[in-house]
Every structure is written in C-alpha cells, then in structure tokens.
Amino acid sequence: MAKSITQEFVKGLWDEIPPFRLVLGLCPTLAVTKSVENGLGMGVAVIFVLVCSNMLVSLLRNIIPSKVRIACFIVIIATFVIVVELLMQAYTYPLFLKLGIFIPLIVVNCIVLGRAEAFAYKNGIVRSIVDGFGIGTGFTISLVALGALREVFGSGTFLEIPVFGPSFQPFTFMVEAPGAFVCLGLMLCMMNIAGNK
C-alpha cells in the first residue's frame, strides 16, 4: 500500500528517526553535538545533501545500472558535499572551522547512502525529495536535542547563553567523548520506553 506524501515526511520524524530508529550516522551525531549551534549547522548541511542526492538518484534511477549503483550514488553524494563545503566556507566560516573534517565526512554518512539505496532508487522524484527532507529533519531534531542536553549540562549554556548562573559547576564529562556515548545510549533507552507504551 502506497503511503501518502505527508506520511512519507512524518515517518522521518518518529517512526524512522535517525540515528535512533535507524542506527546509522552515529559518528557525526557523537562528534558535533558538543553544542546546539554545531548540531543545527550539521543538520542543515545534511538536509541539503540528502534532499539533493535523493532527487538526483531518483531522476537517474532508470539510467544507473544496478551493478555499479553504489559507486554512482557515492559520486552524486560527494558532488553535493563539495557544494555544501564551499558554501559554508563562503558564508558561515566560523561554523565551517568548528565542524572541521566532519563536513567532508558527510559523504560517508551512512544515512545519506542508505536513503539513496533503500528509497530514492525505487521511488519517484517527489516522494524521494519528501523522504530526504523528512529524514533530514528528523536527524536535525536528534542532533539539536542531543546537543542541547550536552551543552546545558556540560558547559552550563544554551546557544552560548548561560542558563544556570555563575555558581554552576559545568559537568565536563558530558562534552567529552565518554559522555557522548553514554548520553546517546540513555536517549535511545528513553526512546524505547516511550515507543513501547
């Protein structure tokens, strides 16, 4: 049964929200969520790449031979990643420096390749764009949520505005690597509790 366009969008926000339901794309999730701002920037970059690559893959799906499809997908994705990289370098330079090597690494983000393979290669162009946008938005929400949690407790700020007052002792564990893993694990646990009800 074919889903409606709205359903394709909404599924990315809860049913298949990355990286919780689809355990893909963990590396950028862990690495860039030290603050809300980083998470948001990364999320928007991923939405752009995901929508564009889904669109192009869907357009070319009858031309790309199935044996070399992965290579074709990667070249398409890499092209859009370069576009994002150059755009960010031009317009949001401080953010570009903060995200560092994680911008070129969008190319190896399993979510983007996963959607190209699992969805865009089999569906029409409108559906693919909507799917890319939905999954991308879900990813951004997750990044912002995790970023907020870690920034508030780890540095005592939200979007670099102090929230707890001067007497707050930052819980540095949260912004370091071990905190990232534990935090994501516990959020996944919350999702499971919420989902089972």
Partner 1 sequence: MGDYVLLAISCILVNNILLAQYLGCCPFLGTSKKMETAIGMGMAVIFVLVMAGAITWLLEAYLLKPFGLEYLRTIAFIIVIASLVQFVEMFLRKSIPALYKGLGIFLPLITTNCAVMGVCLININEEYTFVQSLVTSFSYATGFGLALVLFAGVRERVLLARVPKPLQDTSIGLVVAGMLALAFFAFKGMA
Q: Are 63 and 130 in contact (CB under 8 A)?
A: no
Site string for partner 1, 177-196 (x = CB under 8 A): xxxxxxxxxx-xxx-xx--x
Q: Which listed range, 40-48, 147-155, 163-171, 174-182, lies at the site for partner 1 (CB under 8 A)?
A: 174-182
CA distance 135 to 159: 24
Binding to partner 1 in span 111-170, by CB under 8 A: 113
**Nearer Cβ to partner 1 (70/126):** 70
**Nearer Cβ to partner 1 (164/173):** 173
Q: Which listed range, 49-57, 109-117, 126-134, 136-144, lies at the site for partner 1 (CB under 8 A)?
A: 109-117
CA distance 155 to 170: 5
Q: Are 39 and 146 in contact (CB under 8 A)?
A: yes
Give the number of residues in contact with partner 1, rule: CB under 8 A. 44
**Nearer Cβ to partner 1 (75/159):** 75
Find the binder of partner 1 among 13, 70, 97, 118 (CB under 8 A). Answer: 70
Burial class, 137, CB count within 10 angstroms (exposed 0-12 / middle 13-18 / buried 19+): buried
Give yes or no for residue 93 binding partner 1 (CB under 8 A).
Answer: no
Give yes or no for residue 7 binding partner 1 (CB under 8 A).
Answer: no
Q: Are 60 and 72 in contact (CB under 8 A)?
A: yes
Place of tokens 């420096």: 97
Q: How many other CB atoms are there within 10 angstroms of residue 101's CB atom?
A: 7
Q: How many other CB atoms are there within 10 angstroms of residue 168's CB atom?
A: 14
Quick one: how far is CA 184 from the chain centroid?
14
Give yes or no for residue 64 binding partner 1 (CB under 8 A).
Answer: no
Q: Which residues bind partner 1 (CB under 8 A)?
A: 23-28, 30-31, 70-71, 74-75, 78-79, 81-82, 85-86, 100-101, 104-105, 107-110, 113, 176-186, 188-190, 192-193, 196
